[in-house]
Structure 1
Amino acid sequence: MGPLSSLAAGETRLDWDSLFAGRIARMKASEIRELLKLLDRPEVISFAGGIPDPALFPDAAFRDGLQAALSGADRGQALQYSLSEGYRPLREWIVGRMASLGIVCDVDNIMITSGSQQALDYLGKLLLSPGDTALTGWPTYLGALQAFNAYEANYDRLVPGDNRSASAFRDAAEAKGGRAKFIYVSADFANPSGETLDLSERQRILALADALDCAVIEDAAYQSLRYEGEEIAPLLALDIARCGSIEKARTIYCGSFSKTLAPGLRVGWVCAPKAVIGRLVLMKQASDLHSATLNQMAVDHVARTVFDAQISRIVATYGARRDAMLKALSAHMPQGVHWTRPAGGMFIWLTLPEAIDGAELLAQSLQREQVAFVPGRAFYPDAGRGNAIRLSFSCADEGPIAEGIARLGRSIRRAMDAATPAAWKTSEPCARSL
């Protein structure tokens, strides 16, 4: 049956499914976006959304920034078409920010995007041909998988301590009909695991990228949210240090103001060699011309006036909430449950006994305990392990965290009692430092 299928005499209807590109079948709804709807239910304690606390947004600074943009000499610019590369003063501020991280670049190495999610989408479009392979963590960020899936990517597992050779990765990619195009990594406080890569692991990733002659995409959305320990140089900084210039680097850095200032304005950036930025600018022109200039001007004002103070404020608040969740987990989790102890970010990753499925646990937890979280299966490129869940501590105060984790502990105990294998009762509940 063709695109026009008969309904009745004289009537036709367009069969849209027959017109959609084959890649559409790889595009799935985000479980997290659906779970965010639960935030409107006051009876639910939600650890689901990895979103910043709106009570911590620098509202006054944004009001001042918007007023300045709309009342100053540049007010016409705020409402006019603009450069696809982005608002130059904001790009100049980002150059200074990158320098503070050990990344020497200039304004032409920066392009503003509509959040770092748009950067991931553009990079998937730029680098992936059908059948190519992306090397990722296992688990990894769901939004990255959604972006790369649209360009018909394959995936291979890259995890800390893995001793696979570059030739093994290369052969696996070729067997799937393409080549390994990039390594995608969130080196600091990754979503969903909370994992931070140490210096030796970062160097290993760069060496592997050299051997594969592929790019590295560094997703730095949570880099500023460190609660303990010493900062480790970003991959791009390490890359520049060894090759001598950002123009010779193979690392593409994706930054964002969403977790530090506010997500609603959708302002992120890419820092990369000019050869990469030039191609991304062409994509930006074809996609949305440019990110909203008014938003960029407001973010520029806020970044210049309160960025450091804002970072100090949110780090103190989120750090206390992380500590409260770790304390509650130690108090309420049954034997056989393990969790990460992140040094920053917004997430703790729980590994459950193998017989417990995170999605089934969520349904039971919502029904009986009114606690929400994200099942872990969605974070695996192969929809693999179901016995994991992601908890976010960013939007709950210490009291609700304690109560919610106690409720979650009851849900997990009920699920374990229903399955009753003795094996998981042989190990104590514990946290794993990252």
Structure 2
Amino acid sequence: MLDWESIFATRSSRMKASEIRELLKLLDRPDIISFAGGIPDPELFPNDAFREAYAEIFGGPSVGAALQYSISEGYRPLREWLAGQMAALGIPASVDNIFITSGSQQGLDYLGKLFLSPKDTALVTWPTYLGALQAFNAYEPSYDQLNPAGNRTPAAYAQAAAEAGGRVKFAYLSADFANPTGETVGRAGRERVLELAEELDIAIIEDAAYQSLRYDGEAIPPILALEIARKGDINSTRTIYCGSFSKTLAPGLRVGWICAAEPVIRKLVLMKQAADLHSSTINQMAIATVAERGFEEQVAKIHKAYRQRRDAMLSALEKYMPAGVTWTKPEGGMFIWVTLPKGSDGAELLAKSIQTAKVAFVPGRAFFADGSGENTLRLSFSCANDRMIDEGIRRLGDLVRGEVAQAA
């Protein structure tokens, strides 16, 4: 038998199965109430709009272009529409600053490949998006904790990176309704990240997958917008904005984008040419058509549904969780982050929950680069109705109460 492990690249040892992807299999079990998958509700997809868009493509003169090879940068009308959206966020950009990816996950993989040499340091929040850690892990980095509210000095970060055998290359964060916590970084925190990046001379990767999903409060300018306000021109900035249609229109079409300075975009285009040539042209065309005709209407529809579900889950947590359990109160997004009493273990709780309470969630440890966070868990409200939320949180609260009492 061939010993595959002996010939795999060393980086393959850092590739781990996604706990979330494995938990998604539970969605097919009718006896399980799942708060695990951070996925949009398919009942809210604009199905009719996409049906019409694809019919028009196949019935019109552009079908040949839709099915043909295309440019690596992406479908130009879609990039033009996105440039307009960026301008509305305070980010004046041209089509040359927009690059289409096969979902924002591909963007994170490309950026890891672009910046990270083995032993270089990536600054990430504690906790952070699991998919980002998976994307970056292949390039063998070290991780250090990014705390936008903290006062750690740039010199301390640089010294720690040097001791790890490399240098700091970028700071990665989701500033709006982050996966997994649902928390938002305030304007002052965003400004501090910018100042840290300037001192360290590093890039900032701004993951804006949930930026459109604000239900309460006032919008805060993206980090890239704040930097442009300082410097006057996107091509003078170090912030790389990663967007996605997965949470607003449809995740299965795998269309995301990056907005950044032209030197970064040019490098990403070369990567795209070597990897998959270009993202699906027909899907980009359909996304462009649907977005142009009804993006704001679609966003308003999902806001109404998700706001109600978030409120239902917050109310249920307040009603059923025992003393000593705390949780975030997000202004948008899809997630609530729960912190259990010290000594609790989210993974052990999940195993018991699946067997007894029949409720699924994601243990928090998976979101920490250092493997901490044992007493945390992530709940998603995006695909559950009010009845499921109330019953599921009641069951989970009973289970947690029993575990706390047993540990006392």
TM-score (structure 2 length as normaliser): 0.99
Q: Tell me whether 1:380 sits opposite 2:374 in the alignment.
A: no
Map 1:141-290 → 2, pairs under 5 A: 141-290=129-278
Whether the 8 Å contact between 2:338 and 2:376 is mirrored in structure 1 is: yes
2:369 matched to 1:415?
Answer: no
Q: Deviations over 1:305-335 (max 9, x none)?
A: 1100000000010001000000000000001
Query: In structure 2, how many angstroms separate the alpha carbons of the residues matched to 1:206 and 1:283?
Result: 27
State the distance in 1 between where 2:20 and 2:270 align.
31
Deviation at 1:407, TM superposition (A): 0.4
Matches for 1:225-374 after TM superposition, within 5 Å: 225-374=213-362
CA contact (8 A) 2:148 2:190 kept: no
Q: State TM-score, norm by structure 1.
A: 0.93
Shift of 1:71: 1.5
Cα distance in 2 between the residues matched to 1:258 and 1:395:
14
Instruction: Give, in angstroms, the shift of residue 304 of structure 1.
Output: 0.5
Secondary structure in structure 1 of the residue aligned to 2:328: strand
The amino acid of 2:401's aligned partner reads R
Which residue is 2:118 aligned to? Answer: 130
User: Which residue of 2 is the match for residue 115 of structure 1?
Assistant: 103
Once the 2 structures are TM-superposed, how far is the Cα of residue 385 of structure 1 from its aligned partner? 1.8
Residue 4 of structure 1 corresponds to: none
Summarize deviations over 1:404-428 as a string: whole Å, max 9, x none. Answer: 00000011012112211xxxxxxxx
Which residue number corresponds to residue 2 of structure 2? Answer: 14
Indicate whether 1:73 and 2:45 are aligned.
Answer: no
The one-letter amino acid of 1:224's match is S
Instruction: Provide the aligned length of Structure 1 versus Structure 2.
Output: 408
Letter aligned with residue 303 of structure 2: V
1:61 alignment partner, one of 33, 37, 49: 49
2:81 alignment partner AA: W
Q: Secondary structure at the match of 2:377?
A: strand
- Give the drift of 1:15: 1.4
SS in 2 for 1:341: coil
Deviation at 1:70, TM superposition (A): 1.4
Which of these residues, 26, 31, 53, is aligned with residue 19 of structure 2?
A: 31
Deviation at 1:386, TM superposition (A): 0.4
In the alignment, residue 37 of structure 2 is paired with which amino acid?
Answer: G
Whether the aligned pair in 1 keeps the contact of 2:170 and 2:202 (CA below 8 Å) is yes
Identity %: 65
- 1:72, distance to aligned residue in structure 2 (A): 1.2
Question: Once the two structures are superposed, what CA deviation does each residue of 1:359-394 show, in whole Å capped at 9, x if it has no partner?
Answer: 000011111110000000000001112000000000
Q: Deviations over 1:130-160 (max 9, x none)?
A: 0100111100000000000000011101124
- 1:121 CA drift (Å): 0.0
SS at match of 1:269: strand
Distance in 1, Cα, partners of 2:405 & 2:352? 13
Q: Please give the alpha-carbon distance, in whole angstroms, between the structure 2 residues aligned to 1:68 and 1:81.
A: 19
* Superimposed CA distance per residue, residues 38-78 of structure 1 (whole angstroms, 9 cap, x where no aligned partner): 00001110000000000000000000111111111111001
Given the alignment, which residue of 9, 34, 48 partners 1:46? Answer: 34
Q: Which letter does structure 2 place at the counterpart of 1:135? A: L
Alpha-carbon distance between aligned partners in 2 of 1:22 and 1:174, rounded to the nearest angstrom: 22
Can you give the 5+ residue segments of structure 2 that lack an aligned partner in the other structure? none
Q: Secondary structure at the match of 1:14?
A: coil
Alignment partner of 1:382: what SS?
coil
**Structure 1: 5+ residue runs without aligned partners?**
1-12, 421-434
Q: Which has the larger radius of gyration?
A: 1
Alignment match, 1:104: 92
Looking at structure 2, the residues matched to 251 and 379 of structure 1 have their Cα atoms a distance apart, in angstroms, of 23
